[in-house]
A and B are shown apart, each in its own frame.
Chain A
């Protein structure tokens, strides 16, 4: 048919392949465009992304270690400043002279006439506490205590001969024995805890005007002490206490910490706990959803595609599992196999896949009847490719929507378990999700409601996240909804 060919050429012009193709918009792009227009969904998406990022970067963004208990700053209301000298005090074991300094910066912060508590975090898990009583502009007294570490056998503390104080201003050193001889400091200083008077002339001052005293004890017998000063007067006493401290430096450059959301009764920063709690909640939500995704999509797709009796049996199994009291199952599993986080993932995922399987099966069942599947069979596409090329890509939209809605459902379920006290553990440490924090807050609330923030923050965080995920899920559903799109 030569004339027919030339007719085609006339229509086609010079080779149609060479003309640049117009780029089409896939349904994914189309859905994204719709989603972009949905303000609530976009807010949900942004919040979800922020929450996820904060969960991933918890170590980086959380201002404090959420696990460290510091009872002396316990139950502070939101927007509290604490004077933590953590990072500013360095304590190491050693035999060098102990130097403790009351920094000017410290005096500035503390001199507001109120009683403050200073947190000292000392390495080697020895925690000290400083009580500052500031009556006027200057510090009156610092009590540095080492709670619980006073040795039961005080005579183990031995003061070595020839050890010395150092005058920070002049650099002069005073032998300890010399000091004892010269003043009222007993020679048997190291034997007992107590208050001792340091002769004024033995106390050095540095360039900033801070007072310095240095005492060294032998071995593990260590010291904390009080430097007492009043209205510019030099310290007049030191209190000696044994602890595993050999070297303490206090430079006082960063003294205040802002606990934006307050602290809990153990002195743990609420914001940090919230961030790490979110990590647990989201991790459980996402992981259990992924578990349900893998099982549910495979199971549902096979049931829907194979159909017939196999489908029937498979879906009856799902129905039976659906009828099981899931909470009971999860509790049983956690009792039987321990409170491992894996058990939780599996238990929650194993429950969620049921709905996923039903949804995917329903989709595959209806897609299988679509004419494009018939068309694919007609043009020689084989079974496996029908599944991968035609069915699964068309199910994915619904799967994504359902996944987005499963994550909050799982978070809520896990919270419920945590609320019942079924928290999971990792390395022997409890993993406290938002649900656990809510539970803690509820307990702390007690009758009076004075620690309201402990309940409020995790509740708000959870609500915001659940709302966001649900808005996002709804938005995605609308974006993928063929009805709304009015075509297909």
Chain B
């Protein structure tokens, strides 16, 4: 990891809006009734670095439990990072006091994974969307109402629904309410933590389109988290693939789909259904075997080695460095070479 140089992951020709360096979040595992002993830790995020340029969308993809949410939550300081820095607009968020962080969040908002849990069921839509405005005293009375209505219409909800409660809405509509709340403070960046994973496939596209539309209108920057590559395909400018607390590959969107370099990325891509049934049948899906990865375990080598169809002896003992193969395309793998993965490397043994 050490040779992942600070500037290496930024897209060409732009000063990053967000710059995460060697970010780590370890949760202690404790035992004991009154006096806790630390008996280990969950390395939910274990040293990741990436940049997000203004106006760009960085997709962050990985299977469940790999630390995507924790990454987003550490950036916005819902959890305290264990180590590393998160520079946002040139300020290191990781070291801000909680009051300063509160101010900083005006420009950095988040959309949550579960549209059912992310809205207080006892509050009306009006109060939910108005909450950030009230907190910072940005509007009151008629102006507040007007702003809330404007936000609701902006995310495609009728302002006449403002006195209804979250449970009266569908998942997609609820997610739109979450978007409206995130937009209320007029932020420059939004962390979207699997905003569509909990939604029906038919609704997913609508919400993704809405987010894209809003990005164009309001010059937003997104960190867009998803657990499969299909979802981030349309919206992302670049995609980072995460595995067990690490980023294993990061590349411009088109490239990662066309020429993946990390075996894990290849496996993820093989799981995307292809609309053409003939092609779908012809293609071989790479099934991952091996032990279910554990974030509590310490790894000497590559974390993916246990399950990797392409692994070589070195993988289990030495951590692969994050290497830039083509401009902006990084991967951490011992097997992959300048021309990508060797032919047949992914064939199951």
Which chain A residues have a beta carbon within 8 Å of chain B's beta carbons?
1, 4, 8, 11-12, 15-17, 19-27, 30, 309, 312-313, 316, 370-372, 374-382, 389-390, 393-394, 485, 487-488
Contacts and interface: CB of A to CB of B under 8 A. Distances in A.
A20 B159 CA distance: 9
A15 B120 contact: no
B145 A17 contact: yes
Nearest to B102: A380
Contacts of B162: 21
A15 to B, nearest CB: 7
A380 B164 contact: no
Contact residues of A: prevailing secondary structure: helix
Interface in B101-136: 102, 105-106, 109-110, 112-114, 116-126, 131-132, 135-136
Given A20-B160, A27-B167, A379-B185, 9 more contacts: A8-B150, A16-B152, A16-B158, A21-B126, A21-B160, A23-B164, A26-B165, A375-B181, A488-B166
A27 B164 contact: no
Contacts of A16: 149-150, 152-153, 158-160
A379 B149 contact: no
A394 B112 contact: no
A12 B217 contact: no
Contact of A371 (B114, B122, B145, B159): B114
A12 B153 contact: yes
Nearest to B73: A374
B161 interface: yes
A15 B76 contact: no
Contacts of A377: 78
B276 interface: no
A374 B121 contact: no
Contact of B121 (A27, A375, A380, A389): A27
Nearest to A372: B120
Interface residues of B, number: 54
Nearest to A316: B34
A8 B218 CA distance: 12
Nearest to B103: A380
A23 B135 CA distance: 25
B163 A24 contact: yes
A101 B119 CA distance: 80
- Residue from A23, A371, A389 having most chain B Cβ neighbours under 10 A: A371
B117 A371 contact: yes
B117 A22 contact: no
Nearest to A19: B160
Contacts of B13: none
B160 A15 contact: no
Contacts of B102: 380, 382
The 5 residue pairs across chains A and B that have the minimum distance between CB atoms = A24-B164, A16-B159, A379-B132, A380-B135, A371-B118
B33 interface: yes
B168 interface: yes
Given A27-B165, A375-B118, A381 B135 contact: yes
A12 B159 contact: yes
A313 B182 CA distance: 38
Contact of A394 (B118, B122, B124): B122
Contacts of A379: 105, 109, 131-132, 135, 181-182, 184-185
B121 A394 contact: yes
Interface centre among A25, A375, A377, by most chain B C-beta atoms within 10 angstroms, is: A375
B160 A374 contact: no
B142 interface: yes
A380 B160 contact: no
A461 B120 CA distance: 42
Q: Which of B125, B164, B178, B185 has the most CB of A within 10 A?
A: B164
B146 interface: yes
A370 B166 CA distance: 15
11 contacts: A11-B153, A21-B160, A24-B125, A24-B161, A25-B168, A27-B121, A27-B167, A372-B117, A389-B123, A394-B120, A488-B116
Contact of A26 (B122, B135, B181): B122
A35 B17 CA distance: 52
**Among B102, B112, B122, residue most surrounded by chain A Cβ atoms (within 10 Å):** B122
A375 B163 contact: no
A11 B151 CA distance: 12
B53 interface: no
Contacts of B286: none
B321 to A, nearest CB: 35
A210 B168 CA distance: 78
Contacts of A380: 102, 105-106, 132, 135-136, 185
B78 A21 contact: no
B167 A488 contact: yes
Contacts of B150: 8, 12, 16
